[in-house]
Structure 1
Amino acid sequence: MTPSTPQPHVIAYFRSLVWQSLDNDMLPTALFAAERLSAYDPKGGDSVHLLSLCLYRDGQYLAAESLTKSWVVRHLGCAYIYAQCCLKLGDGRESQGINALEACRRYWIGTSTWDRHSDTDRRSIPDAATVHFLLGRLWHNTGDVKKSVDSYVAALKLNPFAWEAFTGLCDTGILSRANDRLGVNLRPNAVFKQSQEMLESLKIPSYPSHPSNIPPTIPEESSTLNGLRNSSENLPSDPFSANGGSSRDRSDLSFNNHPSFFNRLNEGVGSGLEAETPTSQPTGSSSHELFGGNGLNTADKPPPVRKTRATTTEVTTRKLTSRSTREVGNDGKRSAASSQESGPQAPARRSTRLTSKFTSKLGVGAERETRLGTKEREREAKKAKTVASRSRSLHLTGASAAAKERQKERERDTSEDINMSDAASKPTFAPGHQIDIKKQEAQLFMLDLFKKAGAGYFSLSRFRCKEALHALNSLSLSQKDTPWVQSQIGRAHYEMANYVEAEKCFLRVRNLSPVRTRDMEVFSTILWHQRKEVDLSYLAHELVELDRLSPEAWCALGNCFSLQRDHDQALKCFKRATQLNPKLAYAFTLQGHEHVSNEEYEKALASYRSAITADSRHYNAWYGLGKVFEKMGKFDTAEKHFRTASKINPTNAVLVCCVGMVMEKNKDFRGALHQYNIACEMSPTSALSRFKKARTLMLLKSYQPALKELRILKDLAPDEANVHYLLGRLHKLLHDKKSAIKHFTIALNLDPKAGHLIKEAIENLDEDEDDEYSGDAEENRFLDH
C-alpha cells in the first residue's frame, strides 16, 4: 500500500531515474517518471520543476509554461523554466518571464555555482549568472537593449566563462543620438580574467598533519551544525538529496548522480557506517523560503543529532589527557579497553576515524597501538628485554630515569595531540595560502583560450577584420583548425571582400564538418560574388539534402536562383528562410535585394526594415535602405541611412563611398570628395572609391590629381572599360587628343555594347567638354550586390 506521506527515499529514487534518463536523452522515460513523481509528490516544488524541465526539453513549451505558472514566486527552478518558455513562445510573453525572475530575486541573487559541476555532480537550480543571462535575452527581445546589456554584463562579472553573455554583448547594439555611437565597447582582456571568487577557489586547506593524512574533501561549513544550516541557505537545490529540496555542500556525496553511488550509499547504511558528510536535513522553513518547495513531512521521523568532528575530537583528546600517565607502558589489551571507555558503545563514526587519520600522532590508547602495529610492539618488547638483560645492575636507577623520561615525552606528545586535534577539526589556510597549481593552470589556460577567441569575435562584430584575424590566428593549430574558428576567419575575409581566401576557409569548414549548415549563407554569398554558378548550385543542393528545415540552406538556394537572374524563385527561397528563422536578418536583406532587382521599391523597404527589426546592427539592411531612397531621388534620407550603416561598420570603404555619392548628387562636391578621400585611405585598392574620387576631381576641374588617380585605377582594373572611357574624357579636357583616342579605342574593344557612346565621344573630340553627366553607367560595374 502506498503511504499517504511522500517518503524521501522514494522521491530520491524517482529523481535519480529522471536525471539518468535526461542525461542519456531518454526523454519518454524521463517524462513518464517525472509525471509519476509529480503525482506521488504533488506539493513538492522540486518535483514540479523536474517535470517542467522534461516538458521543456521535449519542446512542449506551452505545457511547461502552464505547469510552472503558479510556482514562479515560490520556486526558482520553476520560475527559470517559465521564463525560458516565455522566451521560446514569444508574442509578448517576454515581459512575463522577466517579472517571474524578478519576483524570486531573493532566491538567486548572490548565488554562484559555476565551479560546482562535474561529471558526477549537478546543480539543477540556476545561479545568479545564469539568471542574469536569461534576463538579458528577455530584455533584448522586448527591445530594451540597455537593460539587456546590463544583464549580460552582470552575468559576465559573476562568471567570465559565460560565452553566450559575451557574444550577446558583441551582437547587441545601442544607438545613442547624443553621441551617435553604435555598439557596446568591450575589452576582452578585462572580461576573461580571474575574478576574486576564482582566486579564492584556488586556495586549498593546509592541515597540520602529514599531507598523506589529509582527507579528500572536508567542507569548511561542516565544523558546526549551525554552520551547516547557514551554508544550506545559500546553495542551490540538490536534485539527489533524500528530501528532494534541501541544499548541500559541494563535497556532499549525495550530489553524486552516478548510478553506482546510490548503491554505495545504501551499502554504507546497511553496514553500520555513516558518511562523513552531514546527514540530509529535513525540509524546513529555510528550504521552503529559498527554493519554494513544499518539501517532505518528516515530523514523525526526526533527524538524528550529529556530533561534529570538532566535538568528537575534543571529547576523545580530553579523556586521553586524563589517562595519559596511568596508561604508559600498558599492553595492547589495556589500551583497547581504555579506547572503548573513551567513547559510547556504538560503531565507530567515520568522522572520528578520519580525524584520527590526519592527527599527527597519538601517544596513548588504542590510537597509539593501531599506529604502531603488532610487529613494532614486538620489536620494542624484544629491545627492552635485551637492554634489561645487559644492564641488570643498573635496573633501579636507569630504568627509573628512562621511565620518567618516557613519561615526560608522552605527556608532551599528548599536549601536542590536543592542539593538533583542535586544529584538525576545521581546515585552515596557511599564511601564504597554498594554491592548487593544477586548478590554477587549468583556469589560466581556459581564460587565455576564451580571451583570444573573444578578442577575435568582438573585433569581427565591430568589423575590425584585421584585428580579428590577428587574434584568431594566435590560437593554437588544433584550436584554429575547428569549424567555428575557420568560419570566423572566413567571415573576416568576406567582410574585407577577399573572396578567394574566404572561400578557402569555408571549404575547410566543409571538410571538417560536412553536415554543418551554420554560416553557409555567407559561403553561398561568397560564391555568388565570384559568379561560381556550378559550385553554388552544388552547395545549395547539398544543404537542402542535409536539412530542408535549415534557413541557411534556403538562403543558399535563393542565391543560386539570384545568380541565374530568376528573382521570383529567389524571393520564394528567401521568404522560406525567414519563415524558418524570423531572426535571420540576412535573409530579409537578400529579399530586399531581389525586390530592388524587380524595381519593387516599397516591398524592398519593407524587407530591409524587417531585417533591422531582427538585428539593429545589420549594416547591410541600412545600406539597402539607402540605395532604395537614392533610386527614389530622396538623397537626404539616403545619406542618413548610409551614414548609419557606416557607423555600424566603420571599416567598409563602400559605405563611406556611398555617402559621398549621394552628397555628389546633391551638388556637394567638396563634401563628396572628403568622403572619397576617407574611402581611399581605408581601402587603397578600392576601385569604386578611386573612380568616384577621380570623377569628383574632374568636376572640380582638378585635372592633374584626377589623372593621377585614374592611372592608379588603371593598374588596379586594367580591363575595365569605364576606366579607359574616363581617361579618354580627361585627356580630351587636357587637349591631349592622341591619348584620348587611344583610351577611347581600348574602351570600345573592352565593351562593344557601349560602342555608340564611345563613338560619339570620339566624334566630338574637337568640341568643348561640358563635364555634365550622371555617371550612373560608369559606376554600375563597381556597385556591390
Structure 2
Amino acid sequence: MKKTKTKPQISLLSLSLSLSLSESKMKEEAMEAILRNTVQNSLRHFMYKNAIFFSEFLCAEFPSEANLQLLASCYLQDNRAQCAYHILKGTQMAQSRYLFALSCFQMDLLNEAEAALCPANEPIAEVPNGGAGHYLLGLVYRYTDRRTNAVHHFKQALSLDPLLWTAYEELCILGAAEEAAAVFGEGAAICIQKQYLHHTFASHNSHVSEEDRNLTSSRNLVSAEEVSPRQLKQLSGNNVREVPGSCQGMTTSVRGAGQPPNGVYHLSLYNTPSPIATQFSAAAPPPLCRNLQPNGSNTSTAAADSSPRSTINSTIQAPRRKFVDEGKLRKISGRLFSDSGPRRSTRLAAEAGANAGTNAASVAGNGTNNSSKYLGSSKLSSAAFRSVTVRKVPNWANENFDEGMRNEVFDDCRSNIVSGAGALPSVDNKALDQEGATMPCSGVLLNNSKVLTGTAEILSLLRLFGEGYRLSCMYRCQDALEVYSKLPHKHYNTGWVLSQVGKAYFELVDYLEADRAFSLARRVSPYSLEGMDVYSTVLYHLKEGMKLSYLARELISTDRLAPQSWCAIGNCYSLQKDHETALKNFQRAVQLDSKFAYAHTLCAHEYVALEEFENGIRSYQSALRIDSRHYNAWYGLGMVYLRQEKFEFAEHHFRTACRINPSSSIIMSYLGTALHALKRNSEALEMMERAILADRKNPLPMYQKAKILESLESFDEALEVLEELKEYAPRESSVYALMGMIYKRLNMNDKAMLHFGLALDLKPSATDVATIKAAMEKLHLPDELAEDS
C-alpha cells in the first residue's frame, strides 16, 4: 500500500518541478527575445542611445558573446569605436573578431586590427566575414605599406562578392585593377546568382514562418497553470527557431520574438546576410552552392516551357568554401522541407492550402550612389582651356519606378518550425533552369529569367563605372571621359559620376569644364562632398575668389567635420596669399581624417610657400605613406629639391611622378628642367618635346624649351619657339623678357628694349621687375662687362 501511494507523490513532484523549470526557461527566452527585438527596432530607427541602453540591459541579464556583439554593433553605429574596442577585446568568435578589427581600424590601431583578422597562432585561420573581412584586411595592409598583400586581399574580396565595389576602387587606386570587363564578367554573374539564390532561401526560411513564430511566442507567454502538461511539452518543444545570420554559423536566436511588419530581420548593420555588402558589412558572403529552387509548387509555372532557356552554367564554379558541409546541409534540408511532418494547427494547414498558388512579380530598378576616396591634385598652373559639352541634369520628378507586388511566400511551408541554423532546402536543379522558376526576395517573387536579366544589367553598368574609374586612376582621363559618356543619362547625371568627370577635366588642366561638371554635381547632390576638395582647387586656379568663398561656406554648413570643407576654406586663404591661415585650415583637415592624402599635400604646398622646406618635405612624405601613387606629393618633393638645387633628387622625384601620371605635361616640363640643370640637354629637349605634344596649349614646356635653346646659343630656334608661344600666352611677361634677353645677346638693342618694355607693361612680379630693369640698364654694355657688373 505504501508503494502504491509513493508513486503518485513522486510523479506529481517531478511534474511540478518540470513545469516550474519549463515556465522559468520560457520566461527567460521570452525576455531575451523581447530585449533583442527592442535593440533591433531601435537600431532600425537610428535611436542609438535607446539601443545601447537595452543592449547593456541584455548583456547584464543574459551574458554571452553574441549579446556583446550586439552591444558593440550599437556603439560602432553610434561612431564610438573606442567603446566597441573595450567590449570585444579578448573575444574569439569570428563575428567578434571582425567587429573588434573594425573598431581598431577606426581608432588607427592597425596592428591590432591585423592580429584580430589573422591571429598569429592560427596562420591558416579563415578571415572572418568573407568578402567584408578580406576588404578590411586589405585596407590594413594598404595603410601599413604592404601593397602586394593589400592587392591579394582586395582581389579575394571581389572573388567572394563581385558587388563589393569599394574593393575594386582600392585596386584602381593601387594601380592593380584588371579591366572591368574581366572583373564584372560572366564569372561574376554566376557568383552573384548563386549568392542571390542562397540569400533568398535563407530569407525564405525566416519569412515563411513569421506567423508561426508570432503564434508560438504568444503561446509561450501563457502561464503554465493554464495549460496541461501535454500542451506544455508540445509548446516547449516548438518554441525555438534560429535565424541564419550567415553560412559560417554566426546565428542570432529570436526565440519566438515578434517580427517587424515586413517580416524581415534587421539584425544590425554589421550582420546582414545580403550578398550586396556595404563597405563594412559584417556578414560573410554566402558560400557558392548549387542551383536552388523553392520546394513549394507554383501553379503559374507548372505549365511553363520546360526548356532551359535561362540556364545557369553549373559547370563554371568559383573555389568552394571548405567550411560548408554540403552532405549535412542536404540531410537537414531533406528533413526541413519534407511533407511528412505534422502541421501544428488545423488553422495553419487550411491557410497554407488556401495560399498555395499565390504568385507575384516585381520590376526591379537599379542604380548606384558610391563614393570613392580621391587621390588629389596639386596646384599646377596653365592658361589653356577647352570647351566640351557636359550633359544636362535630368528632371528627377519624372522618374517613376514600379515597386512590384507583395507576395505571400510559400504559405504551405509555414507550419515547419526549425531549430537549426544555416539549413538549406533540398532542390531539383532542373526546375531552376525553367524560365518560369520563381524565387522569393523580401516578400516579392522574382522568376529566374528576371534574376538573370537584373544581374546582367547591373554588371553591364558596373563595367562602365569600373572601366571609367580604372582609367581615371591610370590618368588616362580622355579615355575615362569617353567611357563615362556611354552611361545612361540617369546614371551620368548623378553626383558621383559628375564628380569623376570633373576630376578628369581637372587632371587634363581643363579648369573651365571641370568647373562646369562640379557645378552640375553640386546641383544634383548638394549634400555630397565627393570631389569638393578638388573643386575648390579648380576655383583656386581660375582665381574665382567669390565662388570659392561661397563654396567653402556651403560645405562648412553641410558638414563641418569633413576634411573637404576645411580644404576649401584653406584654398580661400591661400588665394588671398594668407598662407599661415591657409595652413591652419589644411591642418584641421588632416586632424579630421589622417588618411586624407590630399590634405597632407596641401599642407606641404603652404609650408613651401612659407619657405619652411623641411616641414614641407615631411608633409609630402606623410601623403606618400598613405598613398604611394599620390603623384602630387612626388611632384611637390621634386619642386622642393629643385629650389634647393639638389638636381639629382629632383630628377628622381619628377621621374617617379611621371611614371605614375605619364600624361602630365607640367611634370614632364619640370623633369626636363631638372635634366637641363644636370647638363643632360639632349634628354631635356626630348622631354620638352613630349610635354608639348601632351598639351599644345600649355605654355610652360615651350618656354622651358626656349630657355634650353638659348643656353645652347641656338637663338634663332629659341625665337621661333617664343613667337609661337606668344599666340598661346599673349599676356605672359616672362615670354617678352626672355625675347629681350635673346635680342640683347644678338646685339639687337632696339628690339631688346621694345620687348623689355612690353614685359614691364604686363605688370610682372616685383622680382621680375627688378631683373628686367637691371637688364635694361646694362643694355648698351658688352656682355662681358654686363656680367661683371
Normalising by structure 1, we get a TM-score of 0.67
CA deviations on 1:100-143 (whole Å, 9 max, x unpaired) are 5995976x67xxxxxxxxxxxxxxxx741122112112222333
- Aligned residue in 2 for 1:135: 137
Other structure's SS at 1:250 match:
helix
Q: Is the 8 A contact 2:141 2:147 kept in 1?
A: yes
* Aligned: 1:602 with 2:614: yes
Structure 1 residue 543, shift from structure 2 partner: 2.5
Q: What is the rounded CA distance, in whole Å, between the counterparts of 1:257 and 1:582 in structure 2?
A: 48
1:736 & 1:265 partners in 2: Cα distance? Answer: 104
Amino acid at match of 1:151: H
Which whole-Å CA distance do the structure 1 matches of 2:156 and 2:66 have between them? 27
Give 1:707 deviation, angstroms: 3.3
Per-residue deviation, 1:58: 2.2
CA contact (8 A) 1:6 1:41 kept: no
Aligned to 2:180: 188
State the 1:443 CA deviation. Answer: 0.9
Residue 654 in 1 paired to residue 666 in 2?
A: yes
Residue 18 of structure 1 deviates from its aligned partner by 2.5
Distance 1:708 1:766 in 2: 25
Aligned match of 1:166? 168
**Which whole-Å CA distance do the structure 2 matches of 1:294 and 1:580 have between them?**
36
Q: Give 1:264 deviation, angstroms.
A: 6.7
CA contact (8 A) 1:555 1:573 kept: yes
Task: Give the deviation of 1:166 after TM superposition.
Answer: 0.9
Structure 2: gaps (5+ residues):
1-19, 223-230, 232-236, 257-331, 358-424, 438-447
Q: Is the 8 A contact 2:532 2:564 kept in 1?
A: yes
CA offset at residue 12 of structure 1? 4.1
Note if contact 1:457-1:468 (Cα within 8 Å) is conserved in structure 2: yes
Q: Indicate the SS of the match to 1:454.
A: helix
Tell me which residue corresponds to 1:624.
636
Partners of 1:7 and 1:296 within 8 A in 2: no
2:246 is aligned with 1:254: no
What is the correspondence of 1:560-571 to structure 2 with a 5 Å cutoff? 560-571=572-583
Distance 1:708 1:430, change over 3 A: farther
Distance 1:440 1:760, change over 3 A: same
Q: CA-to-partner distance for each residue in 1:512-541, whole Å, 9 max, x for gaps?
A: 233333422212211111122222222223
1:93 corresponds to 2:105: no
Structure 2 residue corresponding to 1:693, chosen from 697, 700, 705: 705
| Distance of 1:547 and 1:16 partners within structure 2 | 33
Change beyond 3 A, Cα 1:311–1:677: closer
Residue 99 of structure 2: aligned partner: 81
Q: What are the within-5 Å matches in structure 2 for residues 349-748 of structure 1?
A: 426-429=427-430, 434=435, 436-731=448-743, 740=752, 742-748=754-760
Q: Aligned pair in 2 of structure 1 residues 199, 128: CA closer, same or farther (>3 Å)?
A: closer
Alpha-carbon distance in 2 for matches of 1:534, 1:296:
58
Q: 1:138 to 1:771 in 2, by over 3 A?
A: farther
User: 1:158, 1:703 → 2: CA distance?
Assistant: 64
1:579 CA displacement = 1.1
**CA-to-partner distance for each residue in 1:49-99, whole Å, 9 max, x for gaps?**
222212221233233223323432xx2221211111111122342332333
Change in 2 beyond 3 A, CA 1:55/1:100: farther
Equivalent AA in structure 2 for residue 502 of structure 1 = A
Contact 1:527 1:533 in 2 (8 A): yes
Give the match for residue 71 of structure 2: 51
Please tell me the residue identity of whatever aligns with 1:437.
S
Q: Aligned residues, how many?
A: 596
Question: 1:449 Cα shift?
Answer: 1.4
Q: Please state if 1:20 is matched with 2:41.
A: yes
CA distance in 1, matches of 2:619, 2:356: 73
Change (3 A) 1:706 1:6: farther
Which amino acid is 1:131 matched to? G
- Which of residues 11, 19, 41 is equivalent to 2:62? 41
Partner of 2:153: 151
Question: 1:346/1:578 Cα in 2 relative to 1: closer, same or farther (>3 Å)?
Answer: closer
Q: Kindly tell me: are residues 695 and 603 of structure 1, through their superposed partners in 2, closer, same or farther at Cα, counting changes over 3 Å?
A: same
Measure how far apart 1:490 and its partner are: 0.9
Change (3 A) 1:548 1:505: same
Structure 1, unmatched stretches of 5+, are: 110-125, 173-182, 205-218, 220-234, 237-247, 273-277, 299-304, 316-342, 359-423, 774-785
Instruction: Check 1:131–1:689 CA distance in 2 against 1; reply closer, same or farther (3 A cut).
Output: same
Taking the aligned partners of 1:307 and 1:355, their CA distance within structure 2 comes to 24
TM-aligned CA distance change 1:712 to 1:36, over 3 Å = same
Measured after TM superposition, the shift of residue 721 of structure 1 is 2.0
- C-alpha separation between the residues in 2 aligned to 1:200 and 1:548? 39
The residue identity in structure 2 corresponding to 1:547 is D
CA RMSD in angstroms comes to 4.4
Amino acid at match of 2:206: S
* Separation in structure 2 between the aligned mates of residue 627 and residue 48 of structure 1, nearest angstrom: 53
Post-superposition offset of 1:432? 6.4
1:296–1:654 CA distance, 2 compared to 1 (3 A): closer
Residue identity opposite 1:68 in structure 2:
L
Cα separation, 1, equivalents of 2:252 and 2:120: 19
Distance 2:117 2:746 in 1: 70
Distance 1:763 1:654 in 2: 34
Q: Is the 8 A contact 1:98 1:138 kept in 2?
A: no
- CA deviations on 1:611-665 (whole Å, 9 max, x unpaired) are 2223222211111111111111211111111111112211111111111111111
CA contact (8 A) 1:494 1:502 kept: yes
Supply the distance in 2 between the matched residues of 1:644 and 1:616 (Cα, whole angstroms).
10
Code of the aligned partner of 1:692:
Q
2-structure distance, mates of 1:487, 1:351: 57
Q: Cα offset for 1:162?
A: 0.4
The residue type paired with residue 524 of structure 1 is: S
* Structure having the larger proportion of residues in helix: 1
Mark the CA change 1:719 to 1:357 in structure 2 (over 3 Å): closer, same or farther: closer
The alpha-carbon deviation at position 480 of structure 1 amounts to 1.4
Letter in 2 for 1:427: D
Counterpart residue number, 2:86: 66
Cα contact 2:498–2:517 (8 A) shared by 1: yes
Cα 1:195–1:23 shift into 2, 3 Å? farther
Q: 1:202 Cα shift?
A: 7.3
Contact 1:135 1:151 in 2 (8 A): yes
| Separation in 1, partners of 2:472, 2:653 | 22
Residues 537 and 292 of structure 1, relative CA distance in 2, 3 Å threshold: closer
Which of the pair has the greater relative contact order for Cα pairs under 8 Å at 6+ separation?
2
Q: Measure the CA separation in 2 of the matches of 1:68 and 1:649.
A: 43
Q: Which residue type is aligned with residue 50 of structure 2?
A: T
Distance 1:268 1:439, change over 3 A: farther
Percent identical residues: 31
SS at structure 2 position matched to 1:71: coil
Letter of the structure 2 residue corresponding to residue 137 of structure 1? L
